[in-house]
Structure formats: structure tokens, C-alpha cells
């Protein structure tokens, strides 16, 4: 009965793609806690205060039943104001938020145009929805434009959806957001931007790379709370009518137990911190600049962001390097297909305020030694 599963796992092992869980150990060069907020006492205090005021640990039901807590609504109002949107809606995580938006808002007869390297959750949501779907070359606004034109020429009469990340999770590069917004405007399309890795880190007060686009009637944005904000959950910002539509039509929202209201309280506190402490972003930018210089010195192309891919190519070699660095006290993880394209297995170095400049220098010295073995 279990033979086919065991055979599949053996096949993954032969390709050096078998995965296993491992705990936290060593200096943090792997997490998405970019601003070092996950362990910040003020987030813990926000949770403690909410508990003292009678906020339950669990939501106990969906938001449409008894799971709607004042903390959820307070976060949504704060987020809408913070990001400059008409409304906001809180979800349990970025995966479910992407899935919810793309299975609900694009309608039958619409077209979803996906960047080929966008999050897996966007691919899953698009495939599970009712709209036509096409993938295009990474960060190519012209390819997005051409895909919509080709769809129209074949009789497509619905509404296009241009779907992108603002900062890509594995390459650390930025999307051409202004060009994509122009494509959306030209075709009377919606633009859906996943800001998962930009929220808190970029833009005025940490409002993200798409901050100047928020508030438009054709723009929907996803902000995760479990990365730079140090909590968990995700916030979708959009025109009020689209948020109301999600509340009424989105099965992942309607039929899921609501996120813990304590995470709403923590996320609200994190928004205040990122707005009030721009020095955190300044410190992170210095780490990025240092790491970029060190990577170039070893012959690797820097991304210019806190996500620095060290592309090796060979799966086994990547995992060997990761294990060697971990043994030396640096928590660096290897990333292999299908998370990244075939032949681009890499070390994903994530820069966070949980380390300092001396730690970055030591990491690249160790990487240089291990690469030369």
C-alpha cells in the first residue's frame, strides 16, 4: 500500500532532492525575519496586553461565524490606513491569501497572466480558479502585454489580471512595477502585487515597493505578516467592493477558522514599529551592501536586496555546501528544484537584523573556503 510513496521518496533521494525538517541552529542566514521583529519584546507585549484584555488565543470559528474579533478589525483598519488602501482583509497566511484572491476575484472568461517565477501559491490559485491562465517570462512587461493582446485576438473578452511579486523570493530581484501598472491600465486590467518580501523593508515607512500604486481601483496587494513584520498571517489590501466580494465568495476565507486574534495584535504592533523606526531599514541596507560586495568578490552576482542567491547549479553540491556552512555555525539552506528552475540550485542567503556586519564577513570567508575545497 505504501510502495509508491516509498518509491517516490527514493527517486527524490537519487536526485539529491529529498527534503527533511531541521531545527534552528547557528546564525540566522535563512529566515525571512528581515527586521529582527519576531523576537521583539514589543510584539510579545502586544500579545500579552491582548490576552490581559480578554482576547482569546484561538478565533474559535470563521470570521462569518463567531471568529470575528475586534483585534482582526483593528488590524484591518490600521493596515488600510498604513498602506493607503480603501480596505484590508486579514488571512491566516500568504499561501491561503494568494489562493483566495486568485480563485475568487478573476472570473470565468477572464485571463490571469503570471510571471513564471511567482510564488507557488499564486500558480496553485490560478490553476484552481475559473479564469484562463498563461505564464510569461520573468520580469518581462512586454511579454505580459503580448500575452493579453494574443488572448484578445483569440476572442478573450473578460478582464485580464497581471500578477507579480514586487521582490522575488528566490532571486531577490524587483519587478518592473510601473511598467506592469502601465500594461494593466492600457488593457483595463487588474494588477495583483504580492509584496511578501518587500513589506516592512522598502518604501516610505516600510509600505512596500508598490506603495505608490495602492488605492487605485484596479490594484490589489498582498502583504504578509510572517516575514519582516515578525508575526504570522497576511493582509490583502484592495477597493472595498473587492474585499466585500472576498468575504462573500472566497471559500478559503468563508470556510476557514479565522487567524488567531493574537497574531492580529502582534501584526498591528509591528506596523507601528516599522513606521517609527526607519533605522532598522537603514541597518539592513548596510548589511545588503556589505554582502553584495563580498558576493561579487567570490564571482557571484548580487541581487541588490536582502535575498542573495548563490547559484551553484548542482543539487548535491548545493546541499554539501549548506551542510558545511551549518557545521561552521551559519544557518544557510540549500534550495533545489522544483522550488527553483532545473540547473539553478542555490544557497539562499537571507540577510536579517539577527546578524551583524562581522557575521556577514565571517559567513563569506567560510563560503570562500568551502567553495575552494
User: 266 with 186, same domain?
Assistant: yes
Q: Is the pLDDT of residue 291 over 80?
A: yes
The catalytic residues are: 32, 119, 165, 169, 194, 197, 227
**Cα atoms in the Cβ-side hemisphere of radius 13 Å centred on 298:** 23
Given the DSSP bridges, would you call strands 27-28 and 330-331 parallel, antiparallel or unpaired? Answer: parallel
Does some domain include residue 3?
A: no
- Out of 14-23, 209-218, 245-254, 362-371, which region has the weakest mean confidence (pLDDT)? 14-23
What is the reported pLDDT for 17?
A: 87
What is the rounded average pLDDT of the residues 155-180?
97
The answer to whether residue 150 scores a pLDDT higher than 80 is: yes
157 Cβ contact list (under 8 Å, min separation 6):
109
Q: What pLDDT score does 123 carry? A: 96
User: Please, which residues have CB within 8 angstroms of residue 365's CB and are 6 or more apart in sequence?
Assistant: none
* pLDDT tens per residue, range 301-318: 999 999 999 999 999 999
Across 11-20, 118-127, 154-163, 265-274, least confident range: 11-20
- Phi then psi for residue 12, to 5 deg, are -65, -40
CATH number, position 366: 3.90.1150.10
How confident is the model over 40-64, as a mean pLDDT?
97
Per-residue model confidence (pLDDT) at position 157 = 93
Look at residue 311 in the predicted model and tell me its pLDDT: 96
Last residue in a domain, options 252, 275, 298: 275
314 and 245 together in one domain: no
Whether residues 261 and 126 fall in one domain:
yes
Residues 121 and 182 in one domain: yes
Asked whether 305 and 174 are in contact (CB, 8 A), the reply is: yes
- The enclosing domain of 251 has a CATH number of 3.40.640.10
Tell me, what's the pLDDT at 22? 83
**Residue in this structure with the C-alpha cell 488590524, named with its chain if needed:** 75
Q: pLDDT tens-digit profile of 4-46?
A: 999 999 999 998 889 888 888 899 999 999 999 999 999 999 9
Neighbours of 42 (CB within 10 A): 14
pLDDT in tens, 106-116: 999 999 999 99
d(CA 219, CA 193): 8
Instruction: Say what the pLDDT of residue 25 is.
Output: 87
Measured CA to CA, the distance from residue 167 to residue 79 in angstroms comes to: 20
Q: Where are the beta strands (DSSP E) in the chain?
A: 27-28, 87-91, 111-115, 132-136, 160-165, 190-194, 219-224, 234-238, 307-313, 330-331, 333-335, 345-350
State whether 30 and 54 are in the same domain: no
In this predicted structure, what is the pLDDT of residue 209? 98
Close Cβ partners of 237 (under 8 Å, ≥ 6 residues apart) = 79, 80, 83, 85, 87, 88, 214, 220, 221, 222, 223
Same domain membership, residue 221 and residue 242: yes
Interatomic CA distance for residues 292 and 168, integer angstroms: 17
Is 290 among the domain residues? no
d(CA 280, CA 306): 13
Judge if 21 and 54 occupy the same domain.
no
> Residue 190: is it exposed, middle or buried by C-beta count within 10 angstroms (0-12/13-18/19+)?
buried
pTM of the complete model: 0.95
What percent of the chain shows pLDDT beyond 70? 100
133 shares a domain with 21: no
Task: Answer whether residue 170 is part of any domain.
Answer: yes
Residue 30 grid coordinates: 535563512
Name the phi and psi angles at 42, rounded to 5: -70, -30
pLDDT at 44: 98
Using the predicted structure, report yes or no on whether residue 245 has a pLDDT greater than 90.
yes
109 and 143 together in one domain: yes
Q: Count how many domains the chain has.
A: 2
**Residues 284/228, Cβ–Cβ less than 8 Å:** no
Q: Could you report the per-residue pLDDT of 317-350, keeping only the tens digit for each?
A: 999 999 999 999 999 999 999 999 999 999 999 9
312 and 238 in a common domain: no
User: Residue 222's pLDDT band (boundaries 50, 70, 90)?
Assistant: very high
Q: Which domain holds residue 25?
A: 17-34+306-371
* Residue 220 vs residues 51, 232, 244, 289, 329: alpha-carbon distances, Å: 32, 20, 13, 31, 41
Per-residue confidence at 271, pLDDT binned at 50, 70, 90? very high
| DSSP labels, 352-370 | -TTS-HHHHHHHHHHHHHH
Amino acid at each position: 500500500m505504501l510502495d509508491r510513496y516509498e518509491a517516490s521518496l527514493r527517486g527524490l533521494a537519487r536526485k539529491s532532492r529529498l527534503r527533511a525538517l531541521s531545527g534552528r541552529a547557528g546564525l540566522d542566514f535563512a529566515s525571512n525575519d528581515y527586521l529582527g521583529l519576531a523576537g521583539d519584546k514589543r510584539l510579545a507585549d502586544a500579545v500579552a496586553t491582548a490576552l490581559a484584555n480578554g482576547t482569546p488565543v484561538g478565533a474559535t470559528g470563521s470570521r462569518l461565524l463567531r471568529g470575528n474579533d475586534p483585534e482582526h478589525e483593528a488590524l484591518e483598519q490600521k493596515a488600510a490606513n498604513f498602506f493607503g488602501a480603501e480596505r484590508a482583509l486579514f488571512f491566516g497566511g500568504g499561501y491561503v491569501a494568494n489562493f483566495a484572491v486568485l480563485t475568487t476575484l478573476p472570473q470565468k472568461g477572464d485571463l490571469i497572466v503570471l510571471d513564471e517565477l511567482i510564488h507557488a501559491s499564486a500558480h496553485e490559485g490560478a490553476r484552481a480558479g475559473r479564469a484562463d491562465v498563461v505564464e510569461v517570462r520573468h520580469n518581462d512587461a512586454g511579454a505580459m502585454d503580448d500575452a493579453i493582446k494574443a488572448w484578445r485576438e483569440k476572442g478573450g473578452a473578460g478582464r485580464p489580471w497581471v500578477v507579480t511579486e514586487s521582490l522575488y523570493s528566490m532571486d531577490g530581484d524587483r519587478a518592473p512595477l510601473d511598467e506592469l501598472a502601465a500594461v494593466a491600465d492600457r488593457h483595463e486590467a487588474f494588477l495583483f502585487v504580492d509584496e511578501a518580501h518587500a513589506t516592512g523593508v522598502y518604501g516610505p515607512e516600510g509600505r512596500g515597493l508598490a506603495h505608490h500604486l495602492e488605492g487605485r481601483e484596479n490594484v490589489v496587494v498582498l502583504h504578509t505578516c510572517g516575514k519582516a513584520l515578525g508575526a504570522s498571517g497576511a493582509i490583502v489590501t484592495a477597493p472595498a467592493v473587492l474585499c466585500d466580494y472576498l468575504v462573500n465568495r472566497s471559500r478559503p476565507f468563508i470556510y476557514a477558522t479565522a487567524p488567531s486574534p493574537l497574531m492580529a495584535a502582534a501584526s498591528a504592533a509591528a506596523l507601528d514599529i516599522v513606521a517609527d523606526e526607519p533605522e532598522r531599514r537603514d541597518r539592513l541596507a548596510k548589511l545588503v551592501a556589505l554582502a553584495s560586495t563580498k558576493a561579487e568578490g567570490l564571482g557571484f552576482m548580487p541581487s541588490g536586496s536582502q535575498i542573495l542567491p548563490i547559484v551553484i547549479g548542482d543539487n548535491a553540491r548545493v546541499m554539501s555546501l549548506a551542510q558545511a556552512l551549518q557545521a561552521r555555525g551559519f544557518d544557510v539552506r540549500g534550495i533545489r528544484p522544483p522550488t527553483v528552475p532545473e540547473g539553478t540550485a542555490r544557497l539562499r542567503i537571507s540577510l536579517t537584523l539577527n546578524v551583524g556586519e562581522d557575521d556577514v564577513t565571517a559567513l563569506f570567508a567560510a563560503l570562500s573556503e568551502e567553495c575552494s575545497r
